[in-house]
Structure 1
Amino acid sequence: MGIRFAPLHVPLERRLQTLGVLQWVFSFLGLAQCCLAIFVLLLLTDYWYIAALYAGWLYLDRETPGRGGRRSAWVRNWPMWRYFRDYFPITLVKTADLDPKHNYLFGFHPHGVLVAGAFGNFCTEATRFSQLFPGLTSYLLMLPFWFKVPFYREYIMCGGLVSSEKHSASYILSQEGGGQVAVVAVGGAPESLDARPGGLTIQLLRRKGFIKLALKTGAQLVPVFSFGENELFNQVENPPGSLLRKVQEKLQKVMGVALPLFHARGVFQYSFGLLPFRNPIYTVVGKPIPVEMNCSPSREEIEKLHQEYMDQLVRLFEDNKRKYGIADCSHLVLI
């Protein structure tokens, strides 16, 4: 099969959209390595003292990713994020009002390959999160490893990314006065290994840590389903039990990050590459599930709330799937 090249005469708007997404993909796949390389190079030059001073700053500032981070309204409102949004496009859908007097734990599903919907909706203002949910401040939880990378950590914190360690989410959800939203991709890195077009497999049956956290902090639970999240990339076949899947799962346990072998399109051609397909994403925020604060929840209480959350997530999917191109015969598979 031949390569399908992009037309020569592409509107400037679409070129800027591609540039916005290219920057985002690079931020996920290459920026951390570049930042680390710059830090090492500084150590090996006459400017070693800059790296030494920054290392001191890293030590003094080590708790910040677990204490709400250091978000920047300026970065979250960069015009570039609007082009990033329009590339797919990404739409944030509100189904219920959320009282800013409460704190909320958003469960984001599915993880997808690069959680594009979660980033676009909760780490930027491109989809008008603050206008749709006035009085709420969103934080997206990310693996703590990334907050140890010099310089890179400063950039990701600007968008509202914080460490996914338990004490980090607890800090956000325990803030008095309400208005705080911790967004967690419940399926985590392992779920990304099932992210492919048409995939509806959600890792949730054994994921109960976020339920316990909601009970301990009294944060209301909100299921969020991002339609189109799995349609952005193809992935090399890796069925459970295959050699590739076993290697990926082993690396995930050792490194903490999954390594899905994904591919989609390129910048100047549509046949292969690491840019996502131009498929729409509709991130639907469900109704809140009231949670009574309980510092020592029993197993039965955790199981009961977990079942209620699963029921609400399935209902959210079933109520909206027709609107967003999912066949009536398709259903979520919870594992």
Structure 2
Amino acid sequence: MRIQFAPLRIPLQRRLQTLAVLQWIFSFLALAQCCLVIFVLLLLTDYWLIAALYAGWLYLDRDTPSSGGRRSAWIRSWVIWRYFRDYFPITLVKTAELDPEHNYLFGFHPHGILVAGAFGNFCTEATGFSRLFPGLTPYLLMLPFWFRVPFYREYIMCGGLVSSDKQSANHILSQEGGGQVAVVAVGGPPESLDARPGALTLSILDRKGFIKMALKTGAHLVPVFSFGENELFNQVENPPGSLLRTVQDKLQRLMGLAMPLFHARGVFQYNFGLLPYRSPIFTVVGKPIPVTRNLSPSHDDIERLHKLYLDQLTRLFEENKIRFGVPESSHLVLR
């Protein structure tokens, strides 16, 4: 295989975009491990008191990730996120007005490998969320495991990331006065194992916890489809039933984390590496589905709203697919 190297003369803007995405990849794949190592090293050196005091802080602050987190408007507005946005680029598309007097549960699809669209649109202000949806505050739900990592938890909460446990979602969606948005990647980590260019498979038929949460809090449901999310990385072939997929599924059930073997391009060449491809992402926010609060929803209530949500999600995809580069013959596969 002939390696295709990047040209030596590349505009500074593009180099800065690559750097922004490189630090994002590092944050997702290695920063947590680095933070844990730093914490352990502090414990084993003369600086152990710092680690001990921080451990005390972790205990006192343990409920914050499930109580709305600790966002920072300054960090969400860093200029680096604009370079991150322009690398792909990422565009947030509004299709309907959302009344800030209500709370909303955004169902984000598909999960992709690293949910780049969800991060860029809802954890930063690079795509203008506050301008498009004034009065709304978005929170992206993330696996609780990551909020147990020293130092790392402080960084991710600054962007508006919060724990994905029930207590966290309930806290956000039960706020009086409205204006709160909980963003859930409905397919979760298992869906990332199907993420590859051209894939339109969503793991959603058995995922009804978010429906029940919407009913119990009265939060309006909003389907969100991120066109281009699966085009960012290739993935080693792992069809259901294969040895690799069997191992990945077992690891996911054991650890709660998916382990997709993905690859795309590098920093100085285009053939292999962990940087995503420069492929556009269009995150389309659909119309809200009004939900009446029901503290004790029945099985039929959940099934009825779940079916309505699937119908609205499918309609959102079908109405926008040609506009955003998906062949007319392509359709969602729900499983």
- TM-score, normalized by the shorter chain, greater than 0.5: yes
The match for 1:326 is: 326
Structure-2 separation of matches of 1:62 and 1:205: 33
Matches within 5 A, 1:237-256: 237-256=237-256
Q: 2:20 & 2:61 partners in 1: Cα distance?
A: 30
In structure 2, the residue matched to 1:236 is 236
Residue equivalent to 1:61: 61
Separation in 1, partners of 2:304, 2:47: 58
The equivalent residue for 2:138 is 138
What is the letter of the counterpart of residue 264 of structure 1?
A
Instruction: Give the match's secondary structure for 1:252.
Output: helix
Find the counterpart in structure 2 of residue 4 from structure 1. 4
Aligned partners of 1:331, 1:229: CA distance in 2, in Å?
15
- Gaps of at least 5 residues in structure 1 are none
In the other structure, the counterpart of 1:292 is: 292
Number of paired residues? 335
- The one-letter code of the counterpart of 2:283 is T
User: Residues 38-70 of structure 1: CA distance to partner in whole angstroms, max 9, x if unpaired?
Assistant: 000000100000000000000000000000000
Partner residue of 1:194? 194
Counterparts of 1:23 and 1:233, CA distance in 2 = 17
Superposed counterparts of 1:177-326, under 5 Å: 177-326=177-326
Q: Which one-letter code corresponds to 1:176 in the other structure?
A: E
- Cα deviation 1:140-184 (Å, max 9, x = unaligned): 000000000000000000000000001100000000000000000
Q: How far 1:134 sits from its partner (Å)? A: 0.1
Give the TM-score, by structure 2 length: 1.00
SS in 2 for 1:311: helix
Aligned to 1:51: 51
Distance in 2 of aligned mates of 1:241 and 1:230: 22
- The residue that corresponds to 1:111 in the other structure is 111
Identity in percent: 80
AA in 2 matched with 1:56: G
Q: Which amino acid aligns with 1:11?
A: P
Kindly indicate whether residue 31 of structure 2 is the aligned counterpart of residue 31 of structure 1.
Answer: yes
Q: Distance in 1 between matches of 2:256 and 2:53?
A: 29
Q: Normalising by structure 1, report the TM-score.
A: 1.00
The AA in structure 1 aligned to 2:301 is E
Report whether the alignment pairs 1:150 with 2:162.
Answer: no
In structure 2, the residue matched to 1:73 is 73
The code of the aligned residue for 2:40 comes to V
Per-residue CA deviations over 1:184-210 (Å, capped at 9, x if unaligned) read 000000000000000000011000000
C-alpha distance in 2, partners of 1:165/1:268? Answer: 40
- Provide the C-alpha distance between the structure 2 equivalents of 1:304 and 1:46, rounded to a whole number of angstroms: 60
User: What amino acid sits opposite 2:150 in the alignment?
Assistant: P
TM-superposed deviation, 1:2: 1.1
In the alignment, which residue of structure 2 is the partner of 1:92?
Answer: 92
Give 4+ residue runs of structure 1 displaced > 3 Å after superposition.
Answer: none
* Cα shift at 1:12: 0.2
Distance in 1, matches of 2:170 and 2:241, equals: 36
